Amino acid sequence: MIDIKKLLKVEGEIVNRWLDRLLPSESQPPVSLHTAMRYSVFAGGKRLRPILCKMAFERFGGEGERIYPPACALEMIHTYSLIHDDLPCMDDDDLRRGKPTSHVKFGEAMAILAGDALHAIAFENLAKSGDIRVVADVARAIGTEGLVGGQVFDLEAEGGVPTAETLERIHRGKTGALIATSLRAGALIAGASDEDVEKVSIYGEKLGLAFQIIDDILDIIADESALGKPIGSDAERDKATYPCLYGIDESRRLAEKLVREAKEALGAEVANEKLFAIADFIHERMF
Amino acid sequence: MIDIKKLLKVEGEIVNRWLDRLLPSESQPPVSLHTAMRYSVFAGGKRLRPILCKMAFERFGGEGERIYPPACALEMIHTYSLIHDDLPCMDDDDLRRGKPTSHVKFGEAMAILAGDALHAIAFENLAKSGDIRVVADVARAIGTEGLVGGQVFDLEAEGGVPTAETLERIHRGKTGALIATSLRAGALIAGASDEDVEKVSIYGEKLGLAFQIIDDILDIIADESALGKPIGSDAERDKATYPCLYGIDESRRLAEKLVREAKEALGAEVANEKLFAIADFIHERMF
């Protein structure tokens, strides 16, 4: 039986040490920029994307530390997207993980530039994989068909009642795409077969969608201080979420179904046990 | 004798056709995002970076159309950086090449996202080179040591009198780094030797700096309608420029010296004639 909480904690700490090593020092000019980049990267977070990347890497026989630069690149991208999403002209959030957001702390110009710099340095670290397929895959996942596209659909859906199709498109883009490419990257770097890359990709897409639905449920029911952001902040802005459209119970069932399907896509082999354990852990956050 | 104006026109048109092919169609969702991306990419511009990339590629024996996706990626990056630089919290420019800037036309959120999406799709197209060194090199050139770093130094210098060192740091980052990596990318993809990559890189850095100085001179002396932006807009905001620090005559001499050094770095071989012609063309814009 895997102690998933301990595993996530240990792996998260390794990722943090690598992030510290890979990001420019705060004493190096431009000091203000490096300070802002580090502030957001080290503001907390479970390091889910790098950890999933590393697990897929090991699942398909990858060994050694070479996975960390590309794995950490995925966290840099995640952080850049959060910084830009929080901006006043976007979701206008003042708090993230209980701390002032980048533009509140450093001003809008620096927040935009810190995001842009994290975006660029992420590709420098993806390139360290030596695998051009990884660069292409991640770039596609975070562009107009993925991360950025999802944010556009999200902004355009605000204020109205989204259809189920729109909602899925938002979350596939904003959350699913980066999680799925994190898993594919790990598998590709390990030298997995096309078939295995495809399996782990479906697992990632389903898990990413479940993760987002659960996040939205927690946003409604959880305690403000525990989550570090105002309760119901999404609902206040009429953000498109599953609980708003389907209610909490139906959203829970949907998340449960997605987690089950994610595991089924992977197959019940022993080698998948860590990826199963993470899926169960994400599922259990709901309760 | 090379007809450089004609060559730039013909090559620019080929680059435009490739950009049209490589960017998502406006009819494809998210329509608003793709419209904003295309608006800025096709708002004009000489396509200097893709053309320099292609010239370096051919100079070192590269053949065929495979240079165009990575070459066009450099224009996508240039466009993303202009969109973000024009934002109200940055340089706050309403006009660019005589047209409303992205945030004026589409709103700030869409302008930021159009920039982010161009940044991502650029790496998708750099990856089409199949050369991981190109991805690493460009990523480094547009991060905290290059493009983004230069913009930070620029913002921080506003209002005060910059030192010569600060000024050089700003322009090396904002203009020199992307032009130099464009040339290195072309040379790398062609399979040039390390020594040749280094030569073309120095040429690019010097030319980029000269280009910026000349731009700043033109900003002061040129006619508003010819340039498409308000005359003296940099001076009004106390932007750090060479003409402000050294005066127009001394800046002219400096640009002339840089162009000469750029050509010297390359060496006077016949194979360099197009790169020489571009350097002379940039120099002659001053007069």
Q: How far off is chain A from B189, nearest CA to CA, in Å?
A: 14
pTM (two decimals): 0.95
Whole-angstrom distance, CA of residue A188 vs CA of residue A194: 8
Whole-angstrom distance, CA of residue B8 vs CA of residue B1: 14
Span between the terminal Cα atoms of chain A, in Å: 20
- Please name the residue that has the structure tokens 């450099």: B74
Of B127, B142, B147, the CB nearest to A135: B127
Dig out the tokens for B27 from the structure: 């009819």
Strand pairing class (A99-100; A95-96) = antiparallel
Mutate to test the interface with A, among B72, B124, B178 (most CBs of A within 10 A): B124
Helix A68-86 × helix B108-127 angle, to 10°: 160
Instruction: Let me know the angle formed at the C-alpha of A138 by A91 and A81, rounded to the nearest 5 degrees.
Output: 15
Of A89, A117, A149, the CB nearest to B33: A149
Report the chain A residue with the minimal C-alpha distance to residue B125: A136
Q: What is the CATH number of the domain that holds A74?
A: 1.10.600.10
Closest CA to B181 of B195, B200, B194, B153: B200
Parts of chain B with a pLDDT under 50: none
Helix A68-86 × helix A48-59 angle, to 10°: 150
Dig out the tokens for A7 from the structure: 């595993």
Mean pLDDT per block of 10 residues along chain A (287 residues) reads 93 98 97 98 95 98 98 98 97 93 98 98 98 98 97 88 89 96 98 97 97 89 58 58 89 95 93 95 82
Find the domain containing B223 and state its range. Answer: 4-284
The pLDDT value recorded for residue B270 is 87
Indicate yes or no: CB of B32 within 8 angstroms of CB of A143. Answer: no
Whole-angstrom distance, CA of residue A205 vs CA of residue A184: 11
Dig out the tokens for A43 from the structure: 């503001």
Report the chain B residue with the minimal C-alpha distance to residue A91: B109
A84 touches chain B (CB under 8 A): yes
Contact criterion met (CB below 8 Å) for B160 and B140? no
Would you give the DSSP letter of residue B272?
G
Closest CA to B239 of B145, B174, B285: B174
Contact criterion met (CB below 8 Å) for A108 and B89? yes
Report the chain A residue with the minimal C-alpha distance to residue B138: A124
Whole-angstrom distance, CA of residue A90 vs CA of residue A152: 10
- Specify the amino acid at residue B2: I
Would you give the DSSP letter of residue A24?
P
Whole-angstrom distance, CA of residue A67 vs CA of residue A15: 10
Of A29, A110, A144, the CB nearest to B33: A144
Of A112, A127, A143, the CB nearest to B89: A112
* Alpha-carbon dihedral angle through residues B193, B195, B197, B198, given to the nearest 10 degrees: 170
Of B29, B123, B139, the CB nearest to A121: B139
Partners of B33 on chain A (C-beta within 8 Å) are 144, 148-149, 152
Strand pairing class (B99-100; B95-96) = antiparallel
Whole-angstrom distance, CA of residue A22 vs CA of residue A121: 9
Closest CA to B121 of A182, A285, A254, A146: A146
Q: What is the ipTM of this complex?
A: 0.94
Would you give the DSSP letter of residue A272?
G
The pLDDT value recorded for residue A270 is 87
A128 touches chain B (CB under 8 A): yes
- Please name the residue that has the structure tokens 């494809």: B28
Using a 10 angstrom Cβ sphere, with 0-12 exposed, 13-18 middle and 19 or more buried, the burial of residue B21 is exposed
Cis peptide leading into residue B30 (ω within 30°): yes
B34 touches chain A (CB under 8 A): yes
- Specify the amino acid at residue A33: L
Of B110, B142, B152, the CB nearest to A120: B142
Would you give the DSSP letter of residue B30?
S
pLDDT digits 0-9 by tens, B66-122: 999 999 999 999 999 999 999 999 999 999 989 999 999 999 999 999 999 999 999
Estimate to the nearest angstrom the gap between the alpha carbon of A218 and the chain centroid.
Answer: 16
B135 touches chain A (CB under 8 A): yes
A185 touches chain B (CB under 8 A): no
- Specify the amino acid at residue B121: I
Half-sphere exposure of B8 (CA within 13 A, CB side): 16
Q: How far off is chain A from B125, nearest CA to CA, in Å?
A: 8
The pLDDT value recorded for residue B193 is 97
Indicate yes or no: CB of B132 within 8 angstroms of CB of A135. Answer: yes
Number of domains in chain A: 1
SS3 percent helix, strand, coil of chain B, rounded to 5, is 75, 0, 25
Q: What is the DSSP string of A185-240?
A: HHHHHHT--HHHHHHHHHHHHHHHHHHHHHHHHHHHHS-HHHHTS-TTHHHHTT--
Dig out the tokens for B263 from the structure: 């050509």
Whole-angstrom distance, CA of residue B110 vs CA of residue B113: 5
Whole-angstrom distance, CA of residue B66 vs CA of residue B190: 10
The pLDDT value recorded for residue A39 is 98
Residues in a beta bridge with B100: B95
Of A116, A143, A153, the CB nearest to B124: A143
Mutate to test the interface with B, among A37, A72, A119 (most CBs of B within 10 A): A119
Whole-angstrom distance, CA of residue A88 vs CA of residue A237: 13
Whole-angstrom distance, CA of residue B131 vs CA of residue A132: 7
In chain B, which among 142-161 make CB contacts under 8 A with chain A?
Answer: 142-144, 147-149, 151-153, 155-156
Indicate yes or no: CB of A120 within 8 angstroms of CB of B119. Answer: yes
Whole-angstrom distance, CA of residue A1 vs CA of residue A268: 15
Partners of B87 on chain A (C-beta within 8 Å) are 109, 112
